[in-house]
Amino acid sequence: MKFTKQHDIIALTLLFVGMLVLWTLPLQSSSAPYGEVDAASHYAIAEFSYAQDRAMNSLPTFIDKRYGHDNKYKPHTLWYPPPFHMGLAVGSVVGGSSDVPIYLMNSLFASLIVLSVFFLLRKLYGLPIAFASALLLLFSMRDILITIWGQWPERMGFAYLPLVLYCAYAYIESFLNNDEKPVYLVLLSLLLSVNLFIHPMDFFHTIAALGLFTLFVLIKERKWCFNTKHLVGVIVLFFLVISLFPTQTLNVFVRLGYGGSLDQPGKGEVGRLFSWFDPQSGDQGVPSSYFSYSEMIAPSWTALFVWLGVLALCMRRNRRDLLMLAWVSSLYVMIHLDFLGMGRVHRSLSGSAHIFFPLMMLGVWYLVSFVPLRKDVKSLAKFSGIVLFTIVLLFSIAPRGYTALKDAYPSVTRVNSDQLALTDFLKGPTVPEDATLLHLGSLSLAKTRWIRTIGHRYVKDKGELSEYLYIIFDYSDFARIGRQDLIEGMIQLEGAVQNSSTVLYSTSAIRVYKQ
Amino acid sequence: MKNITLLGSCVLAIAVVSFLVLGSVGLRTVLGMFLVLVFPVYFILDSFVKDELEKIVFSLFLGVGLVPALIYWPATVFSLRWTVFLVAVLLGLVGFWLRRKNSKS
């Protein structure tokens, strides 16, 4: 079956439309911000930049009080390199508001992996395998959940790995065929720089994959596969580009020293090297289902096809196969760093679906190729096998992916209209910019963080009344969930404060006092 | 640039879906993203990358990653809105200049 460049562009567009329709589902039901605490911090940087019409260098007080020391190299400045948050802010500028555009941009950024997997697989193995893998990735539970929880840059960063590998592959192919194309090394260098800007963990994952691919090719070809002059040039280019944001780039390397040797379970245990991943008992910030293959990726039986894919690659071992093997090996390395006592390795597990779906497709493709059929029938059989496998899998994984997105953060878990009105007051002149407020009546830490983020004031959800000058009595959520007992308890507390305080803001649902 | 009609149709389809899904804000955001972040890089890459799919994908990924990096420092001093506009125009002009230079040589 022959596919043209026009088919590629149409397939790419269909996937982009899929990302647009599916990954914005949480936004389609309500434009109120959502996500766990990390989401609020990412939103804050983009929203504040848009609101002030200036990119921030030093952190504003309400962000600084919580994240002021996250940049270990230069405290009180941005702890992530700015491009990710600037990208969201650009969305706000062109979209003309902060809420919907920031989330829309983030939905697209977080699902970019769908396009990069499609691109790599299209270049290496053709359109059917590429489109089927990317289509399944659209519904990857692990990717969906991490995005709606709020680890936004990490999601986007993974999308650069397949492209960096492709550039290395294209350059090495051209070099070994005596038709050098250094443009691919330049692109590799730029993409790798962006990868570091977006998320350091993903950058190191990419470096591992790139290193392993180079090593595999060197072993296979038994000769050097780079023009050293070009290589030095692109390394210089890489350092030039990353020096655009020196304080954030150096923060990445300073932080490496902080998490270098944690006393983790699995450290030094040889058995750990032969197990994929054990569910973590400690607080990892993720539910136990996060460690389940069947709940996060696909039904257990599909693991057989993943192994078939690996087996097929190991048997054939041409350069494109080595690339895929390097990618899956890098995943293995990254999620076994706990053996050396390094890092929060479960975070790297979030890159597993990106390689598992393509491996499944390769497994199906090669399984069919073993069936004794006429040559012209065999290619049709392979194509049919891919289509059938994809349809079966879509029935299994698409409904839960769709539901997770559609039902993400239902009404009461998001900032309500009373709280939004409060944030308008907080942003005004009455409450000083360096004030710390206690938020009573919070349903969750995340909700308080959102009020802090949108209100541009440092609001906390825990503490003694006597420790705070400003107190928010927020009945809006308790009223919405019908908890009269909690409302009455808070009325008593408010009564104790009322006599010795000044009311700064008062509605039927929320009051703010200055003690 | 050979597939300009097809590319135009694809962008139009994306624009229509953006509008249907998230209204005028969705349309503005997605089209704005293409205009400011992706198209200028596409014009620049047009002079160096021959394969159409590579050009589209690299301009998207470099656009959303590198153009905000170029916007950042000027926007710490000047208006963010104006910087976004100016950087996009400047990159577009660079792309246009490169194309002219290549067509002459």
Q: Which residues of A touch B31 (CB under 8 A)?
A: 94
pTM: 0.94
A436-440 and A470-474: which strand pairing?
parallel
| pLDDT tens digit sequence for A71-99 | 999 999 999 999 999 999 999 999 999 98
Separation CA A325–CA A309 (nearest Å): 10
* Position A6 in a domain: no
Confidence check: pLDDT of A280 > 70: no
Give the pLDDT mean for A109-115: 96
Closest CB to A104 among B29, B36, B80: B29
CB distance B14–A13 less than 8 Å? yes
Give me the domain span that covers residue A439: 415-514
A49 touches chain B (CB under 8 A): yes
Size of interface A-B (CB pairs under 8 A): 173
User: Exposed e or buried b for every residue in A469-480, given b needs 16+ CB within 10 A?
Assistant: ebbbbbbbbbbe
Assign A211 to helix, strand or coil. Answer: helix
* Position A22 in a domain: no
CB distance A93–B80 less than 8 Å? yes
Give the pLDDT of chain B (105 residues) as one tens digit per residue: 568 899 999 999 999 999 999 999 999 999 999 999 999 999 999 999 999 999 999 999 999 999 999 999 999 999 999 999 999 999 999 999 998 988 877
pLDDT on residue A343: 66
Please count the structural domains in chain A: 2
Query: What ipTM was predicted for this assembly?
Result: 0.96
Place of tokens 């590799």: A188
Give the pair of three-digit tokens for residue A421.
């009105």
Residues A367, A455 within the same domain: no
Residue A35, Ramachandran bin (φ over 0: left; ψ between -120 and 50: alpha; else beta): left
* Position A43 in a domain: no
Contact assessment for residue A322 and residue A216, using Cβ atoms and an 8 Å cutoff = yes
A162 touches chain B (CB under 8 A): no
Residues A360, A484 within the same domain: no
Phi, psi at A171, each rounded to 5°: -70, -45
Q: Which residues of A touch B8 (CB under 8 A)?
A: none
CB distance B37–A87 less than 8 Å? yes
Candidates A126, A233, A120, A225; CA nearest to A174 is A225
Residues A444, A328 within the same domain: no
Give the pair of three-digit tokens for residue A89.
């802010």
| pLDDT tens digit sequence for A19-59 | 999 999 999 988 899 988 789 999 999 999 999 999 998 99
Residues A452, A419 within the same domain: yes
CB distance A163–B58 less than 8 Å? yes
Boundary residue ending a domain (A359, A379, A406): A406
* Position A365 in a domain: yes
Phi, psi at A33, each rounded to 5°: -60, 155
CB distance B30–A17 less than 8 Å? no
Boundary residue ending a domain (A379, A406, A433): A406
- The number of beta carbons lying within 10 Å of the beta carbon of residue A250 is 16
Name the minimum distance, in Å, from the CA of A413 to any CA of chain B.
Answer: 21
Closest CB to A54 among B6, B37, B75: B75
